[in-house]
Structure 1
């Protein structure tokens, strides 16, 4: 959900809720995979504006929600004041043997120090606790990001490639990191999940919401030119039956702390 590593908070929580509600909606499948039990203490890592944390609460669990975005946490607190939300970094959690489960939806692809995050998750769990997550995997939104990079390159802006904000591992790579951390990987899946984007400006809104850091240092005029060209070049491939569809590829994993 909310980005878990940032020096500045670029997240617009209102736009996230209005135009990108699909993130929480797809997370409902992950809740089923988590199968929360009454009385469990669960950490929602990267809780965003709190929708899935609130859903988990209905299973009579104790829920703690954390996210690095102050904007997201503020909105989560306003929407669900009965839930404990706080601003925290996934690579610097202080919890020790506290949770029956750590749940994370659409977050871990933002974390370019995956081992640091996994160690924090591992130490947060009780013995026998489980880690259940879904996030972008190898090839996720590759059609979109390749075209953005092509546009940067066409303008000689090769330095923008260094601002690529995501980590999209293969399932083998991430499972190996989990095992090195001490998890027993009991489930791992890499799926295609074409994702409709809301409205005629769906692709533009997606780029501005999630890819904004790639445009740091770029003038407003150049940014507009690049995004317009990306739309033009991708319309044939990603504009399907009257709407934009992003080429999402997701990893789902379950690991048990032994």
Structure 2
């Protein structure tokens, strides 16, 4: 998972592997959509700690993993030293028509310059190459983020909407952007996917892992109090049968260069 617009590397690769492996697990379905062929050169964009790159390599692809987070890339290199991982920003990729496919799971919602990212991805692909991606779409985790903002307000912190850390487009918006860049969009889907989080602290851990940007300038004790209030308010809605669920809404797209 690419760290996107974050100005410093705040990713905890061990917490990611320990409590958020569902990110890679859900990505296996996206690999089926990619349908990689033996010998294809594939860029895993926002590779995180490398699990999906490993899966692609196991299917015979020649894989390069990139992520903006040095922590994630370091972990990926340690886990899978036989594979190639590099630190790069999705909006400034260094490749020129090198890949048969660009594959991206749970990354592009971190990139708040989507047109610049798509231009960079387009440049990476050979003519006829394909871009296959899944990421958060319109309404993704809205119950969680609305409650965080509400509880911040109750604690006296006015949240600047321009500081919202993610880009969650509608399917029409993103498809139009892809076509503007030059892609032929052959598949586009927007769907609900309630996602089970790990353990009794699942929601708290999710907030620590993915939503820390909401708490810039908030002391640790106040932050923890706010998160507890968020849990209390959302328990009736997002806690079911002994598990927390995140209200995910995802976009999947395929574009051909």
TM-score interval, normalised by the smaller of the two chains: over 0.9
Structure 1 gaps of 5+ residues are none
Counterpart-to-counterpart distance in 2, 1:39 and 1:174: 30
Are 1:106 and 2:106 matched, yes or no? yes
Counterpart-to-counterpart distance in 2, 1:80 and 1:154: 45
Contact 1:133 1:253 in 2 (8 A): yes
Name the SS of the counterpart of 2:8 in structure 1: coil
Structure 2 equivalent of residue 181 of structure 1? 181
Using the size of structure 2 for normalisation, the TM-score is: 0.98
Structure 1 equivalent of residue 41 of structure 2? 41
Residue 159 of structure 1: CA displacement?
3.6
Structure 2 equivalent of residue 3 of structure 1? 3
Q: CA RMSD of the aligned region, Å?
A: 0.9
Counterpart-to-counterpart distance in 1, 2:66 and 2:153: 37
Counterpart-to-counterpart distance in 1, 2:121 and 2:162: 28
Structure 2 equivalent of residue 59 of structure 1? 59
Name the SS of the counterpart of 2:184 in structure 1: strand
Name the SS of the counterpart of 1:131 in structure 2: strand
Are 1:151 and 2:186 matched, yes or no? no
Structure 2 gaps of 5+ residues are none
CA distance 1:176–1:124, shift in 2 (3 Å): same
Counterpart-to-counterpart distance in 2, 1:58 and 1:131: 20
Counterpart-to-counterpart distance in 2, 1:115 and 1:231: 35
Residue 2 of structure 1: CA displacement?
3.3
Structure 1 equivalent of residue 252 of structure 2? 252
Can you list the C-alpha shifts for 1:5-52, whole angstroms capped at 9, x where unaligned?
322100000000000000000000000000000110000000000000
Using the size of structure 1 for normalisation, the TM-score is: 0.98
Aligned residues: 257
